[in-house]
């Protein structure tokens, strides 16, 4: 069979398989209609069969080896070296799509038949995006290697830093019914500094540590003491962690080596992210103190995210402007000696030049 036709079929079957997986997940968790187990299983198994037939045709019938279809570029970034080591010198690279299929199957089967709440959460979506990216990773042209490796490393770091700790925490502590609240970290790293800033701008308040649901900031509004809960999602820890993952992913996917300057910028960025978050919480408390609870809620839902996006935009603008990755110097191409016998022979520069007379020179004797 023509190789170009075979490659088109490979891509079409990959897209069809991913589409069937997406249809099964949508029908099960997102459609809003009563679930039909037969339809869900049929769509899911159809995706498995299509992708299974795809790999069987690739290996047994078309004789195409299971190897990455993208050749590595000349620039060896840190991300390329990390991915190469994680895949045991690219030995696991041919099985990236199979690993992606396994992740999709795990999310579908766990949430449909094992989980007490048969619905997709935020971490399930992250795992699904990682799975799809693994299925098409080596089909992405290598000229987009920065974007491809950035997204892959960013999602993997988010999964490792967010999902795995929350899965392990109930088993380590023995508290299967409770989630990690981060009350101690929130109290000392967020609530106390925020109340310090709030008191500086004339808002009397104080911090108190909660038991299992974060920390509290108490302020007075209309003569009544109001408790403000600072939970894990509102503490800014997530936003700082996302910033850290994005920064590290960018550095790894764009640079070929680390230096002290990058480390200083990373530490400075984390400190600025923490300070911007403290200012956000202090201003939120001030809005509740000055204008009431409704103003506090509006400020929290609208202005807080604007503060985070504003300082993040400024940081990334300066980073991309003054810390762009240096281009690797290209080696000059050596000219091979010519073997052409008819090539012109260079003149001897030391030889005296013969005088050249015009054809019709009047000085020429007749």
* SS3 labels along the chain: CCHHHHHHHHHHHHHHHHHHHHHHHHHHHHCCCCCCHHHHHHHHHHHHHHHHHHHHHHHHHCCCCCCCCCCCCCCCCHHHHHHHHHCCCCCCHHHHHHHHHHHHHHHHHHHHHHCCCCCCCHHHHHHHHHHHHHHHHHHCCHHHHHHHHHHHHHHHHHHHHHHHHHHHHHHHHCCCCCCCCCHHHHHHHHHHHHHHHHHHCCCCEEEEECCCCCEEEEEEECCEEEEEEECCCCCCHHHHHHHHHHHHHHHHHHCCCCCHHHHHHHHHHHHHHHHHHHHHHHHHHHHHHHHCHHHHHHHHHHHHHHHHHHHHHHHHHHHHHHCCCCCCCCCCCCCCCCCCCCCCCCCCCCCCCCCCCCCCCCCCCC
48 and 143 both lie in a single domain: yes
Instruction: Please tell me the total count of domains within the chain.
Output: 2
161 and 68 both lie in a single domain: yes
14 and 155 both lie in a single domain: yes
Does a structural domain hold residue 349? Answer: no
Does a structural domain hold residue 178? Answer: no
169 and 285 both lie in a single domain: no
First CA to last CA distance, the chain:
83
φ, ψ of residue 66 in degrees (nearest 5): -80, 90
Does a structural domain hold residue 360? Answer: no
Of 144, 173, 202, at which residue does a domain stop?
Answer: 173
Of 173, 198, 223, at which residue does a domain stop?
Answer: 173
Of 173, 191, 223, at which residue does a domain stop?
Answer: 173
169 and 189 both lie in a single domain: no
Does a structural domain hold residue 161? Answer: yes
| Residue 62 confidence (pLDDT) | 55
Contact 107/124 with Cβ under 8 angstroms?
yes
Q: What pLDDT, in 10s, does the model give residues 54-100?
A: 766 666 555 554 554 445 455 688 888 888 888 888 788 778 878 88
CA torsion sign, 172 to 175 to 176 to 181? negative
Does a structural domain hold residue 200? Answer: yes
| Residue 350 confidence (pLDDT) | 45
63 and 138 both lie in a single domain: yes
| Residue 233 confidence (pLDDT) | 76
**Which tokens sit at 364?**
């020429």
92 and 229 both lie in a single domain: no
Distance CA(171)–CA(13), nearest Å, equals 40
Residue with tokens 């200083």: 264
Q: What pLDDT, in 10s, does the model give residues 309-346?
A: 888 888 888 887 777 665 555 555 555 555 555 555 44
Residues of the chain with pLDDT under 50: 1, 65, 68-70, 72, 177, 345-366
| Residue 18 confidence (pLDDT) | 74
164 and 109 both lie in a single domain: yes
pTM (two decimals): 0.70
Does a structural domain hold residue 352? Answer: no
111 and 197 both lie in a single domain: no
Measured between alpha carbons, how far is residue 245 from residues 242, 254, 259 in Å?
5, 14, 18
Does a structural domain hold residue 361? Answer: no
Distance CA(119)–CA(29), nearest Å, equals 6
204 and 291 both lie in a single domain: yes
What radius of gyration do the chain's Cα atoms show? 32
163 and 274 both lie in a single domain: no
Distance CA(79)–CA(146), nearest Å, equals 9
- Cα 143–Cα 145–Cα 151 angle in degrees, nearest 5: 140
Range of 207's domain?
183-322
Does a structural domain hold residue 362? Answer: no
27 and 157 both lie in a single domain: yes
């Amino acid at each position: 069979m023509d190789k170009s036709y075979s490659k088109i079929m490979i891509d079409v079957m990959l897209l069809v398989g991913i589409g069937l997986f997406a249809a099964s997940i949508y029908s099960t968790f997102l459609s809003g209609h009563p679930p039909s187990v037969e339809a869900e299983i049929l769509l899911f198994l159809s995706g498995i069969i299509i992708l299974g037939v795809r790999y069987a045709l690739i290996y047994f019938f078309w004789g195409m080896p299971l190897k990455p279809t993208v050749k590595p570029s000349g620039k060896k970034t840190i991300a390329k070296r990390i991915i190469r080591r994680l895949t045991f010198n690219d030995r696991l690279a041919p099985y990236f799509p199979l690993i992606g299929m396994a992740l999709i199957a795990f999310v579908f089967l766990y949430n449909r038949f094992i989980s007490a709440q048969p619905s997709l959460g935020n971490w399930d979506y992250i795992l699904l995006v990682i799975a799809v990216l693994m299925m098409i990773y080596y089909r992405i042209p290598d000229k987009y290697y920065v974007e491809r490796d950035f997204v892959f490393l960013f999602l993997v770091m988010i999964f490792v830093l967010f999902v795995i700790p929350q899965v392990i925490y109930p088993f380590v502590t023995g508290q299967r019914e409770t989630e990690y609240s981060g009350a101690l970290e929130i109290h000392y790293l967020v609530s106390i500094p925020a109340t310090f800033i709030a008191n500086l701008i004339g808002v009397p308040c104080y911090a108190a540590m909660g038991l299992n649901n974060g920390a509290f900031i108490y302020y007075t509004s209309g003569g009544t003491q109001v408790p403000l809960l600072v939970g894990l999602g509102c503490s800014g820890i997530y936003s700082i962690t996302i910033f850290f993952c994005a920064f590290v992913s960018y550095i790894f996917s764009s640079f070929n080596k680390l230096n002290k300057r990058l480390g200083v910028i990373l530490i400075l960025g984390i400190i600025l992210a923490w300070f911007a978050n403290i200012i956000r919480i202090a201003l939120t408390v001030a809005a509740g103190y000055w204008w009431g609870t409704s103003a506090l809620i509006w400020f929290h839902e609208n202005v807080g995210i604007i503060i985070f996006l504003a300082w993040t935009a400024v940081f990334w603008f300066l980073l991309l402007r003054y810390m762009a990755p240096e281009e690797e110097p290209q080696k000059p191409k050596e000219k091979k000696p010519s073997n052409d016998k008819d090539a012109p022979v260079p003149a001897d520069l030391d030889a005296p030049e013969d005088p050249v007379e015009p054809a019709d020179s009047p000085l020429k004797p007749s």
